[in-house]
Each structure stands twice: as C-alpha cells, then as structure tokens.
Structure 1
Amino acid sequence: MAEEMVLEARNRAGNYFREGYNCAESIFLTFREMVAPEVERDLVRMATGFGGGLGHAGCICGALTASTMVIGLLCGRTDNRQDRHRAYELARGFHERFEETFGVTCCRSLNPHPFDTPEHLRHCLKITGNTARLLMEYLQEKRLV
C-alpha cells in the first residue's frame, strides 16, 4: 500500500504538470487530493507564483516550495500559541532530503533550459514527479500519512 501511494503521487503530479499546471500547483493539487481532501481546491492559487523558482526568478524550486506547503497543511499551526518547531523541523528535513536527491534546490540549477521550452518542460516534468514521490516517501516515513 505504501509503495502504491508513492507511485500514485508521482503519477498524479506528472499528470497535472502535463495538463498545464506548474510544478508547485501540481504538487499542491496531488497532495490536497491524497492527504487533505478537506482543503479547498481553489487554494491552488497560492501555489501559482512559486512556479519557475518564484515567478520565473529561478530561485528555490516551486515543487520544493509546494512540498513545504503540504507539510504545513498536515502539521502547521492554526493558532500563534501553538508550537511551530515540528513544522520547522519537518520542512527543514524535507529540504535536506530534496537537496540530497537533486544536488541543489535552485530552479535554474535544477533545470538549465530556458523557461517554457520543450526541453525545460520535459525536465520539470521529471523533477515534479520525482518530488511528489520523494515527498510521499518522506510523509510516510514521518507518519504524517
């Protein structure tokens, strides 16, 4: 069952990307469906600007940023008196896992092709699917799903 969820996450994220969603939107939509279906689908709007490393600035990968959003959905706080350290620890841990896997976290370093070219889109499709796989494995390991 755990491996099936990992493959399903990878495939869903890849399918969303193929449909025209950016990397961040694809991660958000995939995990909203799989682990937080009570969350409004329209909140995907919050992920839109993260594509291309913050609006094509080439900075931190949008798939990584959206993964942090998912971690927040699962263990973030809703009250300023609640402890935020678990969410910080999990976000940092996933950031480190992402960097170990891909070598870097910066969009322009992950994908050197010009934005929105066929080469760029093919490469981002792989990054998006593999980030979804990595995130589902991480969430399972941390017993968040």
Structure 2
Amino acid sequence: MGVGKKGEELAKELFQANYNCAQSTLAGILSAKGREYKDRIRLAGAFGAGIAQQGLTCGAVTGGLMAFGLLVPLGEDMGAWKKQVADLSKEYIREFKDRFGALDCSKLAGCDMSDAAVRKTFHDSGGRDRICTPMVMAGTEIALEILRRRR
C-alpha cells in the first residue's frame, strides 16, 4: 500500500456511509497514524458542506487541519506547538489549493452549498460522489504525505 492508502480507503468508506467530509478526512488521517478516531470525529460534525453547510472552507481541509492539532504532541512550550501546527496547516492548505484551485466548498462544488435545495440537487445528481469523494481522499493523502515528509 502507498503512503496513506489505508487512510484514504477509510475516508472514502466513511464518506460513502454518509459521514461528512471533515469527519471522513479526519478519521482517515488518524486511523492511518494508528490513532483512535471514532470518538474524535464528533469534533468535525459541524464542518460538513463547508462549515455548517454554509459552503465555506471545504470539510476535507478543516478535517485535515483538525488532524494536525490532534497528532502534534502537546509539550510544555505552547508557542512551539502552535507554530508546528500552523506550519503543517499552511503546507496542507497550499497543497490542497494547488491541486483543486480553491478552498471554499461552494467554489469546489460549483454551486451554492449554503442553499438546502441546491445542496440536495448536488447530492441527488451524484456531485457528492463525483466531486467530494476525490477531495476527501486527496485531503487524507496530502496530510499523510506532509506528515511523512516531516518525520
């Protein structure tokens, strides 16, 4: 299996089981790093469809950022911890945006995800599978690759 393959597969499986994008990405990353995820993904419950279904920052992005906060060991020096999490997060955001061209859910989906009717049409037309699933998998892959490079 390639770097993060197990994580990507779990992220896809959870997303297809109707977990949101942030939960799925967070779970995939944590699982691939040998961490428990079942309780922790509740933290990401409000981050689907661009933060509370508002079409804002993509849940694959926010889920990845949450993972960094959970995976970086919290030491005595809070400033050093915050810098390390911020550095990982900036790299993740840059790579995700380079790959997909945007960070906002509505831009990535090509429709107003804050509108419930539009969101339903997006889901019913297969947009979630066609557009979001690859981003959830890529978000997981990007985070795991960054963590691997930083070892």
TM-score in same-fold range (> 0.5): yes
Q: Which amino acid aligns with 2:55?
A: G
Q: What is the percent sequence identity of the aligned residues? A: 23
Q: TM-score with structure 2 length normalisation?
A: 0.82
Q: Write the mapping of 1:2-41 to structure 2, written as runs, cut at 5 A.
A: 4-37=2-35, 39=36, 41=38
Which segments of 5 or more consecutive residues in structure 1 lack a partner in the other structure? none
Task: Give the number of aligned pairs.
Answer: 140
Q: CA RMSD in A?
A: 2.0
Q: Which segment drifts farther, 77-86 or 24-33?
A: 77-86
2:124 matches 1:117? yes
For the residue of structure 2 that corresponds to 1:51, the secondary structure is coil
Residues 93 and 20 (structure 1), Cα distance of their counterparts in 2 relative to 1, 3 Å cut: same
Q: Which amino acid aligns with 1:32?
A: L
Which segments of 5 or more consecutive residues in structure 2 lack a partner in the other structure? 112-117
Displacement of 1:36 after TM fit? 4.6
Q: Which segment drifts farther, 27-36 or 62-71?
A: 27-36
For the residue of structure 2 that corresponds to 1:60, the secondary structure is coil
Distance in 1 separating the partners of 2:50 and 2:37: 24
Displacement of 1:138 after TM fit? 1.6
Map of 2:114 onto structure 1: none
Q: TM-score with structure 1 length normalisation?
A: 0.85
Residues 78 and 47 (structure 1), Cα distance of their counterparts in 2 relative to 1, 3 Å cut: farther
